[in-house]
Amino acid sequence: MMRFLPRMRWLGALGALLLVLCGLAQAARAHEATMAVLTLREIAPGRFIGQWTMPPTDPTLQPIFPPHCRWEAPELICGERGLVGRLSFMGLGSKQSVATIRVLPHDGPMEAYTVSAAKPFATAARNPGTDLVVWRELAETYVNLGIDHILRGIDHLLFVLGLIWLVRGGWKLVKTITAFTVGHSLSLAAATFGWVGVPERPLNAAIALSIVFVGVEIVKLQRGEEGLTARYPWTVAFAFGLLHGLGFASALTSLGIPQATLPIALLFFNVGVEIGQLMFVMVVLALLWAHRQAQALLPRWGAAIPAYVIGSVASFWFLTRI
Amino acid sequence: MRRAARLLALAAALALTPGVAEAHLVDTRLGDFYSGALHPLTDLQQVLPWIALAVLAAFQGAARARWVVLAFPLALLAGAMAEMVLQLPTEAPILGLVLVAAMGLAVAAAARLPLPALIALAVVAGLLHGAQNAATMGPATDRLLFISGMIASGYAVVTLGIGAAIAFLRGGTWRPIALRAGGSWVAAVGIMVLGLQMMTRAAAG
Amino acid sequence: MMTRIAPFSRLTLALALCAIPLAPALAHTGSGVQEGVLSGFLHPLLGPDHLVAMVAVGLWGAQLGNPAIWVLPITFPLVMAVGGLLGISGIDIPFVEPLIAISGIALGMMVALNVRPPLWAAAILVGVFAVFHGYAHGQELPEAADAVAYAVGFVVATGMLHLLGILIGVLVRWEAGAAAVRACGAAIGCVGFYFLLGAVGIIA
């Protein structure tokens, strides 16, 4: 099976690359009839008056504000920290699938936060300026989201695992991982600001293909052939980093971040992704070290098994995502 | 002095680890894989014998220890699967504490075990803990993810423990003694809590 | 990220509490592993008679040198566990506190006078203390929310106190250090004497 894949891989990768270059616009957000809109008007710093500009069909629907805010309808008191943090709705379900909170600050443009069953919360934020508390809050939220995203993203982790396997360790590994990091940071930024956009399905398929590629390269290396990655590790890592960054971006944009805080959110999200990735690399390297200490290494006949497992899993993903 | 500092750091890490692990369980945002991986780590009745098993294996030398790297995760898997068809026996907590005490004593004595005995110990611990962890899954838990998370953390803890202990033992004569003292502490915990468990059971009739 | 920092601030709190060892034992047998470990950890540190006697055990082990220095840390927890079982079972042993104070005095004197008995004699003296020490803690165990965590906490604290004693004891390699170790022993004996007077009701 693996022998046929390399050719398929190039076709798929080429297709995905074309799509990236075309910069297809993202699919328009679907509108639903059962929309509810709560408008919050700031009457004094940290004090809001709420009003349903589009009342919910389900009367039990209730907004959930960050813990430091006190909601006594129709008044919302958030104190000097202001309305920052997680916004959500209780009772979102089949009757009422989408709800929006519109915030009219007394000194700034309106922000809208939409919550749906598929995206159960939105994060309210304001331009932090010099307010350290807001900075810390933003950092905490987005760094955690970044860590969360990379650690849940088994496809990204498998790719990094493949890179570690291929490059083995030392300075070369540091350079390769850095190249991957630079690559995905660039494309994450580009996609978050809307400079490029890629439909999700082909993107995911292309990411799956990148893992198949690494699997093939490992097998090649074990047979004594010098593959592309072995010769130009950081170039390959950079190129695929670009691809994986687009994948991170789709996770970030689905959160619905207000424009005012987008660059900061992006920065912290990326920091979170790097922390998570570093944690993973450290655990893998520690385990490899432990295996060497215990001389618990795979026998020669089984050395190729992990590469085949990585390759097969990724091929399966590719087929299901195409 | 540097050794002393390292020992102190080790002790501090030991003291802090459960706290760190528990803090994570509070938000199981990383999905069932991570709740499966973190569940045994928050339970000292599992982590202590895992580390003791790793140190005990390291005392037997690398050639024997590496079998535990293979046997223990497989036993965890078997235990978790068995739990799906069989009921967890009511003696499971007692058996768990007996394991804590036995493994601690074996480490304290730096016992030389024949390979089958070492593997058997790893398998019994794996079967028991696999079943105990699997029994905590709720109806909404993704079984595959939870069990793979649990096996991953069992494998990681035991492998890292064996590797670290083997590397640590390559050094001064005080090093095996430090590990044996640690085993003795584990045994003391096991014996006392086992006694408590027996006592409360007897009181409950 | 905050969750990682919390244990450190707790440790700071724990250390701050250690600085006032005469405070009453905090009966916060809270729920959860963290609380269990912490309350177990603090327990031996908050009873100054236990604390000094345990340091004395480490000091004496270091003073006696091989093989006591390594027999001690391995066997002490096990003997202590036996005492712990007695405490858990609720068997009433009279005069626990005076005996702990007396063993503190005895251990302090041994260190101060640099007494070198045969290993078995030293083992018996340390063993008696270990049993009573374990007994006092074992009595607390059934009240702990998480017994394992509590046991781990106090066993770790005990081990660290030994380690502290052994580390101070390393000073015996130098002449002035040996004198300092003996002075520590004398001080421990005095603390033990103070608590003996307290335990038998001579002083409040």
| Phi, psi of B198, rounded to the nearest 5 degrees | -60, -45
pLDDT of residue B72: 95
Determine which of B145, B159, B162, B169 to mutate to test the interface with A (most A C-beta atoms within 10 Å).
B159
Q: Are B44 and C33 inside 8 Å of each other by CB?
A: yes
Q: Are C34 and B18 inside 8 Å of each other by CB?
A: yes
What residues of chain C lie within 8 A of the CB of B108, using their CB? 74, 78
Say which of B30, B62, B156 has its CB closest to residue A294.
B62
pLDDT of residue A266: 86
Q: Which two tokens stand for residue B91?
A: 């003696």
Report how far residue B55's alpha carbon sits from residue B65's, in angstroms, rounded to the nearest whole number: 9
Q: Are C78 and B191 inside 8 Å of each other by CB?
A: yes
Report how far residue C72's alpha carbon sits from residue C58's, in angstroms, rounded to the nearest whole number: 8
pLDDT of residue B167: 92
Give the residue from A212, A199, A197 showing the smallest Cα distance to A155. A212
Report how far residue C102's alpha carbon sits from residue C100's, in angstroms, rounded to the nearest whole number: 5
Q: Does the beta carbon of C5 lie under 8 angstroms from any beta carbon of chain A?
A: no
**Cβ neighbours around B66 below 10 Å, total:** 20
DSSP letter for each residue of chain B: -HHHHHHHHHHHHHHHHHHHHHHHHT--TTHHHHHHHHHHHT-HHHHHHHHHHHHHHHHT-HHHHHHHHHHHHHHHHHHHHHHHHSPPPTTHHHHHHHHHHHHHHHHHTT----HHHHHHHHHHHHHHHHHHHHHT--TTS-HHHHHHHHHHHHHHHHHHHHHHHHHHHSS-THHHHHHHHHHHHHHHHHHHHHHHHHHHHHHH-
Q: Which two tokens stand for residue C53?
A: 């006697």
Look up residue C172 and give its DSSP letter.
G
Give the residue from B36, C3, B153 showing the smallest Cα distance to A147. C3
Nearest residue in C to B106, CA atom? C74
What residues of chain A lie within 8 A of the CB of B122, using their CB? none
DSSP letter for each residue of C54-121: HHHHHHHHHHH-TTHHHHHHHHHHHHHHHHHHHHHHT---TTHHHHHHHHHHHHHHHHHHT----HHH
Report how far residue A265's alpha carbon sits from residue A192's, in angstroms, rounded to the nearest whole number: 10
Amino acid symbol at B12: A
pLDDT of residue B55: 94
What residues of chain B lie within 8 A of the CB of C148, using their CB? 44-45, 48, 189, 193
Q: Are C85 and B191 inside 8 Å of each other by CB?
A: yes
pLDDT of residue C22: 27
Q: Is the pLDDT of residue B189 over 70?
A: yes
What residues of chain A lie within 8 A of the CB of C1, using their CB? 139-140, 143-144
Chains A–C, number of C-beta pairs less than 8 Å apart: 5
Provide the shortest C-alpha distance from residue A306 to chain B (in Å): 15
Q: What's the average model confidence in pLDDT over B139-149? A: 85
Asked whether the beta carbons of B89 and B42 are under 8 A apart, the reply is no
pLDDT of residue B166: 92
Q: Using H for helix, E for strand and C for coil, what is the string for A84-123?
A: CEEEEEECCCCCCCEEEEEEECCCCCCEEEEEECCCCEEE
The domains of chain C are located at 29-199
Asked whether the beta carbons of A99 and A90 are under 8 A apart, the reply is no
Determine which of A293, A295, A305 to mutate to test the interface with B (most B C-beta atoms within 10 Å).
A293
What residues of chain A lie within 8 A of the CB of B63, using their CB? 295
Say which of B34, B159, B164 has its CB closest to residue A291.
B159
* Mean of per-residue pLDDT scores for chain B: 82
Report how far residue C114's alpha carbon sits from residue C80's, in angstroms, rounded to the nearest whole number: 25
Condensed to tens digits (0 to 9), the pLDDT of residues C36-56 reads: 788 778 877 777 777 888 888
Q: Are C84 and B12 inside 8 Å of each other by CB?
A: no
What are the beta bridge partners of residue A104?
A: A41
pLDDT of residue B107: 93
Q: What is the ipTM of this complex?
A: 0.78
Condensed to tens digits (0 to 9), the pLDDT of residues C72-107 reads: 878 888 898 999 898 888 788 887 778 888 888 888
Asked whether the beta carbons of C182 and C112 are under 8 A apart, the reply is yes
Nearest residue in C to A145, CA atom? C1
Reading chain C (204 residues) residue by residue, the pLDDT tens digits are 333 434 444 444 444 333 332 222 222 233 467 777 887 788 777 777 778 888 888 888 888 887 777 788 788 888 989 998 988 887 888 877 788 888 888 888 888 888 888 888 888 888 888 888 888 888 878 777 778 888 888 888 888 888 888 888 877 778 887 888 888 888 888 888 888 887 777 776
Say which of B22, B185, B192 has its CB closest to residue C34.
B22
Nearest residue in B to A283, CA atom? B156
Instruction: Annotate B116-154 with b (16+ C-beta within 10 A) or e (fewer).
Output: eebbebbbbbbbbbbbbbbeebeeeeeeebbbbbbbbbb
Report how far residue C149's alpha carbon sits from residue C34's, in angstroms, rounded to the nearest whole number: 7
Mean pLDDT lowest among A24-28, B58-62, B107-111, C76-80: A24-28
Per DSSP bridges, beta strands A98-104 and A35-44 are: parallel
Asked whether the beta carbons of A107 and A241 are under 8 A apart, the reply is no
What residues of chain B lie within 8 A of the CB of A144, using their CB? 29
Q: Which chains touch A (3 or more CB pairs under 8 A)?
A: B, C
Report how far residue C54's alpha carbon sits from residue A87's, in angstroms, rounded to the nearest whole number: 54
Q: Are C147 and B196 inside 8 Å of each other by CB?
A: yes
What residues of chain C lie within 8 A of the CB of B188, using their CB? 77-78, 80-81, 84, 151, 155
Provide the shortest C-alpha distance from residue A279 to chain B (in Å): 14
Reading chain A (322 residues) residue by residue, the pLDDT tens digits are 344 444 444 444 444 443 333 333 333 233 334 578 888 888 888 888 888 877 887 777 888 888 888 888 788 888 877 787 778 888 776 566 778 888 888 777 777 777 776 666 777 766 666 667 667 777 777 888 788 888 888 888 888 998 888 887 788 888 888 899 899 999 988 888 888 877 878 888 888 888 888 888 888 888 888 778 778 888 889 999 998 888 888 777 766 666 667 788 888 888 988 898 999 999 999 999 999 888 877 777 777 788 888 888 888 888 887 7
Q: What is the pTM of this model?
A: 0.73
Q: Are A144 and C2 inside 8 Å of each other by CB?
A: no
């709560």: which residue's tokens? A38
Provide the shortest C-alpha distance from residue A305 to chain B (in Å): 15
Instruction: Annotate B162-196 with b (16+ C-beta within 10 A) or e (fewer).
Output: bbbbbebbeeeeeebbbbbbbbbbbbbbbbbbbbb
B162/B173: higher pLDDT:
B162
Q: Does the beta carbon of B148 lie under 8 angstroms from any beta carbon of chain C?
A: no
Q: Are B65 and A294 inside 8 Å of each other by CB?
A: yes
Asked whether the beta carbons of A181 and A277 are under 8 A apart, the reply is yes
pLDDT of residue C38: 81
Asked whether the beta carbons of C191 and C48 are under 8 A apart, the reply is yes
What residues of chain A lie within 8 A of the CB of C2, using their CB? 140
Residues shown for chain A: 322
